[in-house]
Amino acid sequence: MSTLLKEYFDKFNNNDRLGHAFLICNTSYSDIKDELDLIVSNHFFNGKSINDVFNDYVIVEQTNSKILKDDILALQKSMMLKSSSNENRVYVIDGADKMNDYAANSLLKFLEEPEENIYAFLICENINKVLLTIKSRCHIIILEEKNDFKIENYDEEIFSKAIEIIKLLEDKKSNSEPYIVSLLNKKEDKNVISDIVTIMKYFYYSSLYYNILGVNKYFEGYEDLLKKVYKLNSEASLTNKLISINRLENMLEYNVNISLFVDEMIYRLGSDYYE
């Protein structure tokens, strides 16, 4: 069982930053069940087993890969019942990206006016399919994708380009755009650009978790830059950049014009753009 989610959550709690709703990305409930159950037990039910808190811990599961409005209405009704243990109440939605519009809007109303001692864990595999208004009301935790990322798997020149683009984007200098364009020229092979974007994604991911948890899993020797990037961004900003990179990756799946792609990258990653 990975401890990343637990360590991240403990950090929130120790800094008195515990919110009422968490959006956990790149996973499903089944993948993190043991870890999440332990977090819920320790942080919300004073160490009691979740099997002993009865209707105070509710899991909303998908039906035919969908979550419908009726599922959310049933959840809300359940949360209105009196607590069986006179403690906190917690609900988990396994597949926040599987809600239809009616379900998502019903949940949004529930999130907009959170009741005391009710906490939400929304779990999704694709954050881009979650309503922006729902994302804005949650603390977003992006878990590492299931990918065996290693620096040595990438050409040295490609890796250097990725690092240089990160530096240029983070400097936010008005004259940096031509340099980025020159590094991602119009004739560049799409697979090369895809590799550069992947390296950038893992760098931002590493900056976030290195500075929060002290873990540098991928970029040994780049600690100063990891710290600098984190210092220049809030946690929310880094999270938004990771979301934006996911969008950029989706763009690369199509025959996108490279000039338009570079413009989009600079707009999303080189500014205070909010996803």
Least confident of 81-85, 154-158, 168-172, 250-254: 81-85
Beta bridge partners of 140: 23
Phi, psi of 45, deg, nearest 5: -130, 25
CA distances from 243 to 129, 140, 220, 250 (A): 11, 10, 24, 11
Residue range 187-243, pLDDT digits in tens: 667 888 999 999 999 999 999 888 877 888 899 999 999 999 999 998 888 988 998
Residue range 14-54, pLDDT digits in tens: 655 667 899 999 899 999 999 999 999 988 888 888 888 87
Structural domains of the chain ordered from first start: 4-142 (3.40.50.300), 151-269 (1.20.272)
The residue written with tokens 């990891």 in the block is 226
Sheet holding 89-94, edge to edge: 57-60, 89-94, 118-124, 21-25, 139-142
Q: What's the whole-number average pLDDT of the chain? A: 86
Token couple for 111: 């999130």
Q: How confident is the model at residue 3 (pLDDT cuts 50, 70, 90)?
A: low
Spatial CA neighbour of 98 closest among 135, 119, 126, 58:
126
CA distances from 227 to 168, 192, 206, 219 (A): 16, 27, 10, 12
Sign, Cα dihedral of 204, 208, 214, 215: negative
Q: Does the structure show a pLDDT above 50 at 126? A: yes
- Residues 74 and 19: their CA atoms lie apart, in Å, by 23
78 neighbors 115 (Cβ within 8 angstroms): no
Token couple for 133: 């208004």
Spatial CA neighbour of 208 closest among 166, 241, 167:
241
